[in-house]
Amino acid sequence: TQLLEQSPQFLSIQEGENLTVYCNSSSVFSSLQWYRQEPGEGPVLLVTVVTGGEVKKLKRLTFQFGDARKDSSLHITAAQPGDTGLYLCAGRGGTASKLTFGTGTRLQVTL
Amino acid sequence: DTGVSQNPRHKITKRGQNVTFRCDPISEHNRLYWYRQTLGQGPEFLTYFQNEAQLEKSRLLSDRFSAERPKGSFSTLEIQRTEQGDSAMYLCASSLGQEINYGYTFGSGTRLTVV
């Protein structure tokens, strides 16, 4: 069974601060995705990383895939209240397999 | 295309009753997935289809749960003899295929409350 542990579970910060969310596993993934979910809605895809060591940037969000493809991180610069939500990493073990989701990190950004 | 549609959005049922949820995926997506999510946790895989074929079913899924995708388009998830532990958000997602860089498009979910 592939397990993805996220840390921290909950993060409450003020607008303008930086933060990093971690996603760790003992399994190797062929690809890893990050989603953001708002209350009462389904998760929305933010990014997909495929290559070990890959770094992708999406405005103020920076995503990195570990060299061994077992872990990933999400860094947010100058957080804004609109970044509030549940952040989920999700890994795919092979070309034909479903996504396994992480435990989630709930982010709250206040003014 | 308006995305993935799930109905109903909310369902309250008494313990022991049967419930059925419907998911309409994006029309050109051949893969359809069902997940269950409890508050503040990540979605937990239930089952998935490629076209009308059910390719995988979670071992956590009891025989009270059944899913169908009869014509490879919409899907239904039925829970028989509901229990309070079934209370959760049931999410449906679809994807274009099995390539590793394909993401899921999720619906807004059906929130089930068993009383």
Question: Which tens digit of pLDDT belongs to each residue from A63-111?
Answer: 999 999 999 999 999 999 999 999 999 998 866 578 999 999 999 999 9
Q: Are A31 and B42 a contacting pair at CB < 8 A?
A: no
Alpha-carbon dihedral sign for residues B10, B12, B16, B18 = negative
Q: How far, in Å, CA of A94 to CA of A30, rounded?
A: 6
Residue of A nearest to B4 (CA): A42
Interval B3-51: pLDDT, tens: 999 999 999 999 999 999 999 999 999 999 999 999 889 999 999 999 9
**pLDDT of A28 over the 70 cut:** yes
Tell me the HSE value of A94 on the side-chain side, using a 13 A CA sphere: 3
**Residue of A36, A50, A65, A73 lying closest to B101 (CA atoms):** A50
Please check whether residue B115 is in contact with residue B16, taking contact to mean a CB–CB distance below 8 angstroms. Answer: no
Q: How many CB pairs under 8 A join A and B?
A: 61
> A44 to chain B nearest CA, in Å?
7
Q: Which amino acid is at A56?
A: K
Tokens of residue B67, six digits = 């899913």
Q: Tokens 């369902």 sit at which residue?
A: B11
For residue A16, the distance in angstroms to the closest alpha carbon of chain B comes to 24
User: Across the strands, what pairs with A35?
Assistant: A45, A88
pLDDT of residue B40: 83
**A53 in the Ramachandran plot: left (φ > 0), alpha (ψ -120 to 50) or beta?**
left
Asked whether the beta carbons of residue B43 and residue A88 sit closer than 8 angstroms, the reply is: yes
Probe site for chain A from B7, B29, B104 (most A CB atoms < 10 A): B104
Given a contact cutoff of 8 angstroms between Cβ atoms, the answer to whether B89 and B113 are in contact is: no
Distance (Å, whole) CA A29 – CA A26: 10
**pLDDT reported for residue B1:** 56
- pLDDT at B111 exceeding the cut of 60: yes
